Amino acid sequence: MMQRVKQVTAEDTALLEQITELERLCIPNPWSFEMFQLEAGRTGGIVLAALDENGDVSGFLTAQRVADTADINNVAVHPDKRRHSIGSALLAAFLELTQDCTQIFLEVRASNEAAIGLYKKHGFLAVGMRKRYYTNPVEDGILMQYGGTTC
């Protein structure tokens, strides 16, 4: 599947609407359009969209940067388009954008094998556990760090 990754701005309302819709399909506590728009416009906020050959959103990644540290909030790919390296393309574009960051972190649900597999493939390692980090349903979070060492 041909994909292009684009950094989304607060003005890209059509893309932000598609991202909001896709998130609703993918996760239990979805962000609103306004939250995505705020993130895209905020200093340090990162919203990346994977676009197919028609320019439609097939996946997205949100993250934030503060000084030398970056945190990935979420990565999601359309259910019909998974296992076609779209998540990988988003992660690779994010890592290129944050090359100069000294620390990159994320949290992931302990049961989310697909996401954990994706992050491991791209150089993230589990460095800690956050007990009952998630709600709906309640679940532990695994803290992962890019290029980190296990503790």
Ligand X SMILES: CC(C)(COP(=O)(O)OP(=O)(O)OC[C@H]1O[C@@H](n2cnc3c(N)ncnc32)[C@H](O)[C@@H]1OP(=O)(O)O)[C@@H](O)C(=O)NCCC(=O)NCCS
Q: Quick one: which segment of 7-15, 40-48, 115-123, 124-132 binds ligand X (CB under 6 A)?
A: 115-123
Among 11, 34, 68, 113, binds ligand X (CB under 6 A): 113
Give how far Cα 31 sits from Cα of 10, 17, 66, 82, Å: 15, 11, 21, 21
Figure out which of the listed residues 112, 125, 126, 127 binds ligand X, where binding follows CB under 6 A: 112
> % helix / strand / coil in the chain, to the nearest 5?
30, 35, 30
Tokens 């962000």, residue located? 31
Computed on alpha carbons and rounded to an integer, the radius of gyration of the chain in Å comes to 15
Give yes or no for residue 5 binding ligand X (CB under 6 A).
no
**Residue 119: active-site member:** yes
82, burial (CB in 10 Å: exposed 0-12, middle 13-18, buried 19+): middle
Query: Which residue reads 């989310």 in tokens?
Result: 112
Residue 21 annotated as catalytic? no
- Give me the 59-88 binding string for ligand X, x by CB under 6 A, dash otherwise: ---------------xxxx----xxxxxxx
The distance of closest approach from Cβ of residue 55 to ligand X in the complex, given in angstroms and rounded to an integer, is 18
Which residues sit at the interface with ligand X, rule CB under 6 A?
Answer: 26-27, 74-77, 82-88, 108, 112-115, 117-118, 121
The residues annotated as belonging to the active site are: 107, 119
